[in-house]
Structure 1
Amino acid sequence: MYNNQQVSVIMPCYNAEDVIDMSIQSVLAQSYQNFQLIIVDDYSTDRTIVKIKPYLADNRILLVQLPRNSGVANARNIGMQHSLGRFIAFLDCDDVWRPEKLEKQVTMMESNDAPLVFSAYHTFIEGTDKPIKKIQVPEFIDYEGLLRNTIIGCLTVMVDRNKTGDFEMPNIPGGEDTATWLNLLKQNGVAYGAEESLAYYRVSSTSLSGNKWRMARRTWQMYRQTQDLSFIKTCICFSFYVKNAIVKRI
């Protein structure tokens, strides 16, 4: 399908004037330079566009401006519609990659003949020089494993579309990324994880994942709406989700 080694980086953004520079610069600093960066602005009302425009001199960077706010899943899907690369990677506008992230994951993808790879990552608040915690990941995970442990961080994922074909994220309010990995693994087997941390996730009390109760409720709904699990299996998977979410934060 895709006769290239290009990585299409999908970056949704909304009112990110204070943080988006750091994210874009972490993409530009990659040791693997065969990428395109697609920034999808979800109708920001601050100076986000002003911050992005100087970067558009780089012809690898594309800005797509949406006419109304429609949510992160839709923004990512629109970004993928503009993508040209064999590989898809995701980076939100407030998160950061280590410089070797893309290079190591392309190598990992090819050496494992994998449809999807991911990695450990660190959390941080202001600067990546002061990380809070490393989120560990397993060496590999399949569909059933991911149902019980939603451990894959979206900012660490790379997908090989020659293995999966084109795909979309379900347009649901939370858990859309995990639902996507579940859908891909249901059809394509095993995802491989790197023990090395390759990214930094910005922790914010106002972020969706910062609201633990709301995220738990939306994870339950994601199981029911996108995976068609029975009530009993949803209860089983959700109990593992809660246990692993607690362990992840200890």
Structure 2
Amino acid sequence: MPDYSVVIPLYNKGPHIERALRSVQAQTVQPREIIVVDDGSTDGGYEWLEGLDLPNLILERRGLPGPGGYAARNRGIELASSEWIAFLDADDEWQPGHLESVTRALEAIERPDGVVSLFSGYEDVYADGRRSVDPFTRKNGGPICEMDFSTLLGHWVRLNASPMWTSATVCRRTTLVESGRFPEGRCRRGGDKDTWLRVAHMGTTVYTGAITARYFRDSINMTTKMAYANVVPCIVQSTKDLSARETGDVAKRIRALQNLEIRNYALVSARTGGLERSTWADFDTELDPSGGRLLSFLSTPLGALAARLGFTLKRIVKRYV
């Protein structure tokens, strides 16, 4: 039976932390320990945790907030004593069978020693009560499946989104350490995807075939609500490093992923603060000439205006149609 350490970063998520913690306690497969690393919360959430009497709860408090929770997760990895680390953000929750589905998936794999990470499906939960299934499950959901690095990249590019989401991901602790852990001090957002990419490069990734987590889109103090206009995606440093070490189709897929992430950030920049050419300097125009022409146009005043008008029109249509 695999053993799990649950790592939860906390920063001013007092209204949500109880829900997250109770979902861990309700697991049909119980973790060895629950590690909560607080980044200097001021809303009483950490004090509430201190008042609990849970024998497997480990509390750690850092002095300063760490953007994206990366430093807090890295500290949790250092404190963890289990072979597998299951990540859960303080404003999300698991269904009771989450860790059990991970265990079943590991038991179903012929060579589990080569597995470095697993992920499950999840639900997006919106403020108005709407729910939707994650992109990977919607397009490829089904039985347990294992994939090598190249296959994972293919899914990522086709979906225009990482198949792996933090609160539905479990990683081998040794792989996290060897891959460099989370990029604290290197970026403010996008570091989770960067971490999953580096981890997946080291072995096999497994989809559990089950929807076992919930992502609440209306949570307070969300990192995903941070502005990131004219920021080079954090993942670009890793894609450049990895593509230099690979050849053939794998290297091409890494470059395609790099283009995808640069383009997505560039579109946000174009419709908010105007797109600077330096932001997409690492875009591979040989691999995607039409994409390069689009970014060049968006970097002009006319292109910025078109991006803003297009975004406004899209929001109007989404609201009334």
Q: Could you say which TM-score interval applies, normalised by the shorter chain?
A: 0.7 to 0.9
Amino acid at match of 1:169: F
TM-superposed deviation, 1:10: 0.4
Q: Is 1:194 the equivalent of 2:208?
A: yes
TM-superposed deviation, 1:131: 5.2
Q: Which moved more, 1:198-207 or 1:27-36?
A: 198-207
Structure richer in helix, relative to its length:
2
**Structure 2 residue aligned with 1:81:** 78
Mapped partners of 2:108, 2:230: distance in 1: 38
Instruction: Spell out, residue by residue over 1:157-187, the C-alpha distance to the aligned partner (whole angstroms, 9 max, x if none).
Output: 111336x363411122112111111111212
Instruction: Spell out, residue by residue over 1:45-64, the C-alpha distance to the aligned partner (whole angstroms, 9 max, x if none).
Output: 11112221233x11100110
Contact kept in structure 1, 2:127 and 2:218, CA below 8 Å: no
**Structure 1 residue aligned with 2:268:** none
Alignment of 1:1-250 (within 5 A): 5-55=2-52, 57-71=53-67, 72-112=69-109, 113=112, 114-125=115-126, 130=129, 132-137=131-136, 138=140, 139-144=145-150, 145-146=152-153, 148=157, 149-161=161-173, 164=175, 166-167=177-178, 168-171=181-184, 172-188=187-203, 190-204=204-218, 207-210=222-225, 214=228, 221-228=233-240, 236-238=256-258, 240=260
Contact kept in structure 1, 2:101 and 2:208, CA below 8 Å: no
Contact kept in structure 2, 1:101 and 1:199, CA below 8 Å: yes
Contact kept in structure 1, 2:236 and 2:258, CA below 8 Å: no
Amino acid at match of 1:143: F
Aligned length: 233
Mapped partners of 2:253, 2:223: distance in 1: 25
Secondary structure, counterpart of 2:124 in structure 1: strand
Give the alignment's TM-score, normalised by structure 2. Answer: 0.64
TM-superposed deviation, 1:154: 0.7
Contact kept in structure 2, 1:26 and 1:97, CA below 8 Å: yes
Amino acid at match of 1:16: K
Rg: which structure is higher?
2
Secondary structure, counterpart of 1:63 in structure 2: strand
Mapped partners of 2:88, 2:230: distance in 1: 24
Mapped partners of 1:80, 1:204: distance in 2: 28
Q: Residues 10 and 197 (structure 1 numbering): CA distance in 2 closer, same or farther, change over 3 Å?
A: same
The Cα RMSD (Å) is: 3.0
TM-superposed deviation, 1:195: 3.2
Stretches of structure 2 that go unaligned for 5 or more consecutive residues are 244-251, 265-317
Mapped partners of 1:126, 1:37: distance in 2: 28
TM-superposed deviation, 1:222: 2.1
Instruction: Spell out, residue by residue over 1:1-27, the C-alpha distance to the aligned partner (whole angstroms, 9 max, x if none).
Output: xxx832000000101111110000000
Mapped partners of 2:46, 2:172: distance in 1: 30
